[in-house]
Amino acid sequence: MIRHSSAVSLPNIRLDFEKKFFRKEYLLIAGGRAPKTSWLLEAASERTLYSIDRGTDACRAAGIVPSLYIGDSDSVSPETLEWMKNSHIEAKRFPTEKDKTDTQLALDLLTEKQDAFVILSGGFGGRFDHAFSLLYSFAGTNLHGCIADDREFLLILRDGDAAVLQLSKIPKSISLFPLSSVCSGVTIRGVHWPLTEATLRQTEPYAVSNRLADGSRSIQAKNGKGTLALYLCWDESSL
């Protein structure tokens, strides 16, 4: 019997979704800033793990074997390529000269899995153009999911999505920003500056640098229409 769950748990945070049920959870490790090993080990538990090119280095360092490697091998280390061979990891290899990025190709593999929740790590840090491409490539799919590591977290909320975030560690900053031109019916509770049925425009992203309300350990967020990002930051050092 397949169990459907509306809850997703990660280190520091638990997500409970209203009227959303996920059959399977995937963890993708991309080639940006590698998550802390302890975070990665916990996040990978009982999830299907895919590594994307240099993200496989982080998997090898943590001692976890991905189910699938995706990439053109232009940034993964030679030592990790040898480890992949010895570990008999299934691979989908692509030429270096191609139209899509490795991360876009990995997301393409999951676009038909509308009953899945996708956690993308190794997505923060590094070059702005890489981060921009990764964020909007994820937002442009039909996938439900987040970009996360031990320092930062970004949840994508699509039309009508509502979620409660239970936090075991207090974030330094909480922000909302539209990934579509307009997001309407935006509500957030449990924070110092709440919003009710607000309209947020991409050209005026003012709902940033919020914080938890005094005594709060949870955030209630809802997006009426559009594609919305809910962002938390725990550690601002070396971002």
pLDDT of residue 1: 34
Average pLDDT along the chain? 94
**Second-level CATH architecture of 1-150:** 3-Layer(aba) Sandwich (3.40)
pLDDT at residue 64 greater than cutoff 80: yes
The correct answer on CATH 3.40.50.10240 for the domain covering 153-239 is yes
Kindly list the domain boundaries of the chain, sorted by start residue.
1-150, 153-239
User: What does the pLDDT read at residue 55?
Assistant: 95
How confident is the model over 40-53, as a mean pLDDT? 96
Q: Which helix (H) or strand (E) holds 93?
A: strand 90-93
Q: What is the pTM of this model?
A: 0.94
pLDDT exceeds cutoff 90 at 92: yes
State mean pLDDT over 185-193. 98
What residues have CB less than 8 Å from 32, skipping those under 6 apart? 122, 123, 124, 125, 126, 130, 131, 134
pLDDT tens per residue across span 148-167 = 999 999 999 999 999 999 99
Comparing 1-150 with 153-239, is the CATH topology the same? yes
Residue 2 has pLDDT above 60, yes or no: no
Q: Mind listing the pLDDT tens digit for each residue in 137-150?
A: 999 999 999 999 99
pLDDT of residue 9: 95
Mean pLDDT of 45-50: 96
pLDDT of amino acid 233: 97
Assess whether pLDDT exceeds 70 at residue 238.
Answer: no
Residue 187 has pLDDT above 90, yes or no: yes
Residue 198: exposed, middle, or buried by beta-carbon count in 10 A (0-12, 13-18, 19+)?
middle
Residue 3 has pLDDT above 60, yes or no: no
